[in-house]
Amino acid sequence: MKIFVLVKEVPDTYGDRRLNLETGLVDRNASEPVLDEITERALEVALEYADANPGTQVVALSMAPESATPSVRRALAIGAESAVQIVHDDLAGADLGLTAEVLAAAIRRGGADLVITGNVSTDGSGGVIPSMIAEHLGFAQLTALSAVEIGSGSVSGTRASDFGAQPVSAQLPAVISITEAFPEARFPNFKGIMAAKKKPLEVLSLADLGVQADPSAAPRTIMTSVSEKPPRAAGVKITDEGDAGAQLAEFLVQNRLV
Amino acid sequence: MSYPENAILVLVDVTPTGEAASSTAALIGAAAQIGTPVALVVAPAGIAQAAVDAAASAGAVSVLTAEADASALTVPVVDALEAAYNAVQPDAVLVSNSIAGRDVAGRFAARTRAALAVDAVGLSRDEEGVVAHHSVFGGAYRVNSAATYGAPVITVRQGAVDARAEAQPLNVETLAVSPSGMPAALAGEVAIVEKASSRPELRGATRVVSGGRGLGSKEQFVLVEQLADTLSAAVGASRAAVDAGFVPQSHQVGQTGVSVSPQLYVALGISGAIQHRAGMQTSKMIVAINKDPDAPIFDVADFGIVGDVFKVVPQAIEALEARKK
């Protein structure tokens, strides 16, 4: 079994996340870059299967600039056997369509039985990449899983659908995305960190994948403007002296909120 | 059948029982702001009538219907959307930013190579076409996006669009769909979460009352529900309250839970970690009650009360209930 896990470097939500107001791109220096926790959880799902099924290959896959290599290495330190990083200047500011095309091409090139992703990233929070990749690859997709059972030729689980829990299953190959209901990834130990330095990390360019970033190749989504929202100003703040509840009721009535 | 030149194709999310999802009116309302709404309802045979009616009364000038096997996940809906797109030739495709909607939008955009924009909180039109408005990084930035060419596929955040369209006479057409044959996951029956009460759904609610760790226990979290019922509000929670087991995860508001932007958001015993604020700070009016005067939630509150929720809230409920009489 060969499992590709999508891993993504994102700005730490505990820090000050910024967009560059000139380019509209994420300011990668504004806050500490971290591996998105949900993608670490996705990796853990693959590693648990690999622990129980020797011979499983777990490949961490990321489309990210060279500066993100330490985050990709972290996926190796946690336990991925190898990693693929797609690096290309033309991919700066890539939209969802181009991103999905590139990731799918890399998975096709490597040959996967199963692709595991987080359901939604913490930065873009798009949540569409899993189904886009599935469409490109011609795989079935099982998204928003809160539980999963991986078999040798099939995958099944519980989908946290819009209206309630839903049992789902598919023959492999398939793409699955997992929710936060899954446990956090194991912490990379010293041995893992040392081993990660020797594990294969393949760097691919667009040419290796035969993907065109050319704006005329397909319609793209572009940012037409970006502005900073003025920070929300704090309003009235009172300390309860026994009548705050009544004051709150009055405030809600005056603002026509009841 | 001919369709308006400025048609906006709207995919209606359908519940397992065949009703239009609560996102429908806002999706069609948003479509009416940028063109003429044409709705698509995809549902298993014979159960879609309620959703079709809802789409017309929400403002769709025509409603296309297609039957789809509920046991195949996503793919039959994408196939129907593709057929509808080819028939209608719309200026844009709007889909709810729900779990089901995102899956359909992703597959459809990948299949047709359309430009995809996600989680729009508003839509407009300029001389070059449809523009999607986004609220990024927990509402810290406003970003507009557009397609370089072609009709964009846009997912719209639930509860973010207030615009509503005028009801239209029912004008239904059955769509012929040729299956793509794309492998689909097998989907079982949805275990519909029985609502404990008549409280509104958190996503899309116009009023939300949320509780945090400050409520102390599952038993005491009832206070949040009591105020919610007084205000006809939905019940939300911080991650801390969810992790402590006070409420199920489906109530979690924030970065990793539901993003809400109601008219009124009341935070009880919530400190206001940045992950929580990311999911609620686009609310129109924020009220916070917390014992800690330095709680970060007060930085975004329009009305903050430093005090004990167990004293302040019962008093407020009493005052509000007295007014109702």
Give B199's Cβ-side CA count (13 Å radius).
23
**Are B285 and A255 inside 8 Å of each other by CB?**
yes
Say whether B112 sits in a helix, a strand or coil. Answer: helix
SS (H, E, C) B39-98: EEEEECCCCCHHHHHHHHHCCCCEEEEEECCCCECCHHHHHHHHHHHHHHCCCEEEEECC
Residues of A in contact with B294 (CB under 8 A): none
DSSP secondary structure letter of residue A123: S
Q: Do A246 and B315 touch (CB under 8 A)?
A: yes
Q: For position B197, what pLDDT does the model report?
A: 59
Asked whether the beta carbons of B38 and B88 are under 8 A apart, the reply is yes
Fold of A2-209: Rossmann fold (3.40.50)
Would the pLDDT of B195 be above 60? no
Which amino acid is located at A126 in the chain? G
The fraction of chain B above a pLDDT of 70, given in percent, is 98
Q: Tokens 């667009």, residue?
A: A206
A66-81 pLDDT, tens digit per residue, is 999 999 999 999 999 9
Architecture of domain B207-324: 3-Layer(aba) Sandwich (3.40)
Q: Does B7-174 match B207-324 in CATH topology?
A: yes
Amino acid type, B169: P
Question: Coil, strand, or helix at residue A164?
Answer: strand
Nearest CA in chain B to A241: B307
With beta carbons less than 8 A apart as the criterion, state whether B67 and B52 touch: no
B193 φ, ψ (degrees, to nearest 5): -70, 115
Domain ranges of chain B: 7-174, 207-324
CA distance A88 to A143: 29
Q: What is the mean pLDDT of chain A?
A: 93
**Contact residues, chain B, for A239 at CB < 8 Å:** 293, 305-307
The DSSP code sequence of A176-234 is: EEE-TTSPPPPPP-HHHHHHHHHS-EEEE-HHHHT----TTTS--EEEEEEEEPPPPPP
How is residue B258 annotated by DSSP? B
- B279 and B254 Cβ atoms separated by less than 8 Å: yes
d(CA B10, nearest CA chain A) in Å: 18
B251 is in an annotated binding site: no
The pLDDT score that the predictor gives to residue B255 is 77
Q: H/E/C letters for each residue in B114-176?
A: CCEEEEEEEEEEECCEEEEEEEECCCCEEEEEEECCCCCEEEECCCCCCCCCCCCCCCEEECC
* d(C-alpha A20, C-alpha A28), whole Å: 9
- pLDDT band with cut points at 50, 70 and 90 for residue A181: confident
Q: Which residue has the higher pLDDT, B18 or A232?
A: B18
Convert the pLDDT of each residue in A20-47 to its tens digit. 888 888 887 777 889 999 999 999 999 9
Structure tokens at B223: 């206070």
Q: Could you report the per-residue pLDDT of A42-59, keeping only the tens digit for each?
A: 999 999 999 999 999 999
Please report the sign of the dihedral spanned by the C-alpha atoms of residue B47, residue B52, residue B55, residue B58.
Answer: negative
Assess contact for A171 and B142: CB atoms under 8 A.
no
- Please name the member of B117, B118, B185 whose beta carbon is closest to the beta carbon of A170: B185
The CATH number of the structural domain formed by B7-174 is 3.40.50.620
The 10s digit of each residue's pLDDT in B148-177 is 999 999 999 988 898 999 999 999 999 999
Q: Domain-by-domain residue ranges, chain A?
A: 2-209
Nearest to B107 among A132, A215, A258 (CB): A132
Contact B99 A255 (CB under 8 A): no
Q: How far apart are CA A26 and CA B285, in angstroms?
A: 29
- Tokens coding B314: 């019962």
Element (H, E) at B19: none
Cβ–Cβ < 8 Å for A111, A1: no
d(Cα A137, Cα A132) in Å, to the nearest integer? Answer: 9
Phi-psi region of A247 (alpha: psi -120 to 50; beta: other; left: phi over 0): alpha
